[in-house]
């Protein structure tokens, strides 16, 4: 019986030790993330793992992978070596490594960047935006990808009269004047007056 109690006591001590180890490790991780977020960092948003390379080159030796949701401190950026990617130098578990992000399709969100490198971009999940009236249009369904805060979004409505359908053209502009546009079909419950829309024939692609 005494031996059983000793075993139970030992297991209890081990259990408490393991609990405290993970508790302090999680607290240290949270503190480290807070420190990283005070400076320039990226968050991985690509669904699949991305290779971390030794150099800013797709053929360079891999050091490991980063995964969606992970956050890393940025040490530098290479904008010149590729027309396809931005290359970020990150602190990869105490080692310097390079992570690529597509120029047209971003694989990371870039925060607190000291320079303006990205052209802002708008994405949306559905090809059609349903709204009650032209006065009820908002941008809640849009996802903005941009490395600087508070980009400006505007829109115009086009009426394709021969098909009697409407299109909304969004334009997003950042503080440096970089802009991009994207069009989505819009369906109104109450159709707008013609003086509040543009003729689709005048749309210049």
The 10s digit of each residue's pLDDT in 94-117 is: 999 999 998 877 899 888 888 777
CA angle (137, 138, 142) in 5-degree steps: 125
The phi and psi torsions of 43 (rounded to 5 degrees) equal: -115, 130
Query: pLDDT (tens digit, 9 = 90+) per residue, 119-152?
Result: 888 999 999 999 999 999 999 999 998 877 789 9
Distance CA(32)–CA(40), nearest Å, equals 14
Whole-number pLDDT of residue 15 = 52
Choice between 11 and 161, residue whose per-residue pLDDT is larger:
161
Query: pLDDT (tens digit, 9 = 90+) per residue, 33-89?
Result: 888 888 999 999 999 999 999 999 999 999 999 999 999 999 999 988 888 888 999
> Where do the structural domains in the chain lie, given as residue ranges?
38-111, 121-202
8 A C-beta contact, residue 106 and residue 164:
no
CA 197 from chain centre, in angstroms, equals 32
Distance CA(200)–CA(157), nearest Å, equals 9
Q: Which CATH number is correct for 38-111, 2.40.50.140, 3.40.50.1980, 2.30.30.40, 3.40.50.300? A: 2.30.30.40
Is the whole model's pTM more than 0.75, yes or no? no
8 A C-beta contact, residue 107 and residue 48:
no
Nearest to 153 by CA among 168, 164, 135: 168
> Exposed, middle or buried, 155 (CB in 10 Å: 0-12/13-18/19+)?
middle
Please provide the CATH number assigned to the domain covering 121-202: 2.60.40
Output the CA torsion sign for 91, 81, 84, 176: positive
Provide the pLDDT confidence category of residue 12 given band limits of 50, 70 and 90. low
């Amino acid at each position: 019986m005494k031996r059983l109690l000793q075993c139970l006591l030992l297991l209890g001590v081990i259990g408490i030790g393991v609990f405290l180890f993970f508790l302090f490790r999680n607290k240290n991780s949270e503190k480290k993330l807070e420190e990283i977020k005070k400076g320039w960092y990226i968050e991985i948003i690509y669904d699949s793992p991305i290779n971390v390379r030794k150099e800013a080159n797709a053929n360079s030796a891999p050091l490991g992978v980063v995964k969606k949701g992970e956050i890393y401190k940025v040490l530098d950026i290479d904008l010149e070596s590729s027309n396809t990617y931005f290359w970020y130098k990150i602190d990869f578990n105490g080692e310097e490594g390079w992570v690529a992000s597509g120029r047209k399709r971003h694989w990371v969100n870039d925060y607190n960047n000291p320079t303006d490198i990205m052209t802002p971009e708008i994405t949306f999940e559905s090809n059609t935006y349903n709204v009650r009236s032209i006065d009820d249009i908002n941008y809640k369904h849009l996802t903005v990808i941009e490395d600087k805060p508070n980009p400006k979004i505007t829109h115009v409505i086009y009426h394709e009269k021969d098909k009697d359908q409407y299109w909304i053209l969004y334009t997003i502009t950042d503080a440096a004047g970089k802009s991009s546009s994207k069009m989505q079909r819009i369906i109104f419950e109450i159709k707008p007056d013609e003086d509040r829309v543009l003729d689709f024939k005048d749309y210049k692609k």
